[in-house]
Structure formats: structure tokens, C-alpha cells
Amino acid sequence: MPSHGEDLARRLAASHTSPAVAYFLAKLPQSTLQSTTLGQLLVHLAGEMGISKFDSDFVSQVKAYAQSAPPPPDGFYEYAHRKKEALEKFQKTLKRKREEAKDDYHAYLGAFMPFVVQFLKPRPEKGEDRAPHSGSLFFVFSTYELGVKTCLDILRRGFQQTVNFQTVTTVFTQLYEIRVPNSMLADRNNDRLAYMILDWEVEEHKLRGEDGSPRLSRYDVDQLRLAFPLWFYRKLVEVKAVGPSEVVSSKCLFFSIL
């Protein structure tokens, strides 16, 4: 069996990128990949390596490699109290690192879609005079592996910084992932993927009668599922949450509840 999945995962790691981004090739349509800088670089790299089949064997090989391999080398992050400042610092670092790795066109390609989070301090006690986001920090990570590990460490031990020549440990109890709409190195909007997961099972009771029997046939429910993405997309356009020219794709996973 060809080791295309493992080969690409190794190549990504050698380029300081999380092998996990290879999943995009198997899970996203070409239109979505080509709409982002990361997707374009990923498709280009796979083509350069002669890889064009992204089936279940490919995914299994990427997963096996990612689970056993060490984190990609030279992962980095930047942080600041303001999101804009953290992103600008990250952009400068990414630009410098790519320039230093000029022999590798695909260096740090995963950092074009970084893992971005906001840490918040514990919620204010009743009567405590403090704004909800006071003291929050924004972190921008070049790889998922570094991001998840660092986030766990901070939530467990706090975050140490040097303030006025003294080491200060800040305790955070809340963590939110943040969507970054713009490119890391170019003035390009919507260069990062956003995901939405909708749980059908929370409305399960509406598909059953008072005695628990199905009100709709399996076929009818399946047709509702297939029609839902287009209906939902049109609603997003209607309320101007998504522009009519933006790339939107969907993949419905449906677990039978009948």
C-alpha cells in the first residue's frame, strides 16, 4: 500500500507544520481549499509530491503518523492583551521565519491558518469592580500541537510573564477559540475556515408522536437532512452573515434517530 499519507505528514512536519492540516485535503472540496492560502499551499505541495488520492487509507496513515510522531519542530506563538497586537506580532514572526527558510516554499504553511485563543481570568465576584475581559490575553499558535499543550499548561499552572522586572503568574479559568478572518501575510479577507456543528438530536422529540413512534419515515427524514445545508446557507446570506460570493461548503453527518 503506498504511504502517501505518511509521506505528506512527514513533509509537513519537516516544514514546521502540523500534519493534521493534511486532513483538509481529504475532507474539503477543491473550491474551499483554493479559497484559502493554506489550502492553496497544501494542494501545491501534494501535487509536487505526486499525491492526488485522499481516501480512507490516506487519512489512516496521516492519523497514525500524527499520533506517534513528536510535535513539528520550531513551533512558535505570540501573545498580547489585544487581539490585533497579538496577530501583528505573529505576522511579523511568520514573515521572518519564512524568509529564513527561503529554500522551502512551503515552510510554516500551517501558520497561515493559526490556532488563536483568548484566555480570560476567573469571573468577577459579586460586587467586584472589574470589566469581564480585564486582563485577558490573546495567543496565536503556529501549530495545533503547540497550542493545545500550551493551553493545558496555562490552565493548570497559570501564565508567567515578566512585568517591571518581576515574574508575575496570571491565573486563567476561561478559554475561547477565536476566528481570524484575514490572511497572515496579505490583505486577504476570509482566509481562515470557520465551522459550525448542528446537533439534530436535540430536536428528536419533534420527529416522534406522543407514544414515541416515528412521525416521519426514514426516507422523509433523510430528505430533510439533504435539503438542510442549502436552506441554512440561504438564511445566512439573507441576514448578511455570509456574502453571496464567499465560498461555503457543507458535509452532513447523520446518525439515525428513528
pLDDT digits (tens, 9 = 90+) for 76-133: 999 999 999 999 999 999 999 999 998 999 999 999 999 999 999 887 666 555 555 5
Q: What is the amino acid identity at position 87? A: L
pLDDT tens digits for range 14-65: 999 999 999 999 988 888 898 889 999 999 999 999 999 999 999 999 999 9
Q: pLDDT by residue (tens digit) across 122-168? A: 876 665 555 555 678 999 999 999 999 999 999 999 998 877 888 88
Cell of 18: 502540523
Enter the pTM of the model: 0.76
Question: Is 209 exposed, middle or buried (CB count within 10 Å of its CB: 0-12, 13-18, 19+)?
Answer: exposed
- CA 1 to CA 6: how far, in whole Å? 11
Percent of all residues in the chain with a pLDDT value above 90, rounded to a whole number: 52
User: Burial of 170 by CB count in 10 Å (0-12 exposed, 13-18 middle, 19+ buried)?
Assistant: middle
Tell me the C-alpha to C-alpha distance, in Å, between residue 169 and each of 12, 112, 130, 133, 222. Answer: 35, 30, 18, 17, 53
Taking the C-alpha atoms of residue 89 and residue 99, their distance in angstroms, rounded to an integer, is 16
Q: What is the pLDDT of residue 254?
A: 41
233 or 185: which leads in pLDDT: 233
